Structure 1
Amino acid sequence: MRWLLLIVLLTGCSALPLTSPTPQIDHVPTGTLDAAGARTSLAALPVAAPGRLDGYVRDCNDGKACVFGQPWFDTDGDGCDQRSQVLARDLTGVSRKPGRCSVQSGTLDDPYTGTRVTSVSKIQIDHVVPLAEMWRSGAAGWPPEQRLAAANDLRNLVAVSGKVNQSKGDKTPDEWMPPNAGYACSYSRIYVTVKTAYGLSVAPAERAALENALTTCGA
Structure 2
Amino acid sequence: MSRRALTVLFAVLLTGCGTFPAATGGSGAEKVPTGTPDAATARARLAELPVAEPGRLDGYVRDCDKGAACVFGQPWFDVDGDGCDQRSQVLARDLVDVKVKEGRCAVTSGTLYDPYTGETITSVSKIQIDHVVPLAEMWRSGASAWTPERRTAAANDLRNLVAVQGKANQSKGDKTPDEWMPPSPGYACAYARIYVGVKADFGLTVSTPERTALEQTLTPCP
Q: TM-score when scaled to structure 2?
A: 0.87
Give the superposition deviation at 1:198.
0.4
Which residue, out of 7, 25, 47, partners 1:43?
Answer: 47
Give the superposition deviation at 1:152.
0.2
Which residue, out of 189, 213, 217, partners 1:213?
Answer: 217
> Which secondary structure state, in structure 2, belongs to the residue aligned with residue 73 of structure 1?
coil
> Share of identical aligned residues, percent?
74
Give runs of aligned pairs for residues 108-127 of structure 1, distance below 5 A. Answer: 108-127=112-131
- In the alignment, which residue of structure 2 is the partner of 1:201? 205
Give the superposition deviation at 1:26.
1.6
State how many pairs are aligned: 197
* Larger Rg computed on CA atoms: 1
- Distance in 1, Cα, partners of 2:198 & 2:67: 29
- Distance in 2, Cα, partners of 1:25 & 1:119: 19
- In the alignment, which residue of structure 1 is the partner of 2:63? 59
> Which secondary structure state, in structure 2, belongs to the residue aligned with residue 49 of structure 1?
coil
Give the superposition deviation at 1:79.
1.5
Please state if 1:134 is matched with 2:138: yes
- Distance in 2, Cα, partners of 1:79 & 1:30: 22
Ranges of 4+ aligned residues in structure 1 off by more than 6 Å: none
Please state if 1:78 is matched with 2:97: no
- In the alignment, which residue of structure 1 is the partner of 2:183? 179
Please state if 1:32 is matched with 2:25: no
Contact between 1:184 and 1:216, CA under 8 Å: does it hold in 2? Answer: no
Consecutive unaligned residues in structure 1, runs of 5 or more: 1-21
Consecutive unaligned residues in structure 2, runs of 5 or more: 1-25
- Distance in 1, Cα, partners of 2:79 & 2:103: 20
RMSD: 0.8
- Distance in 1, Cα, partners of 2:182 & 2:50: 25
Letter in 2 for 1:62: K
Deviations 1:151-209 (A, max 9, x none): 00000000001010000000000000000001000000000010001000000000000
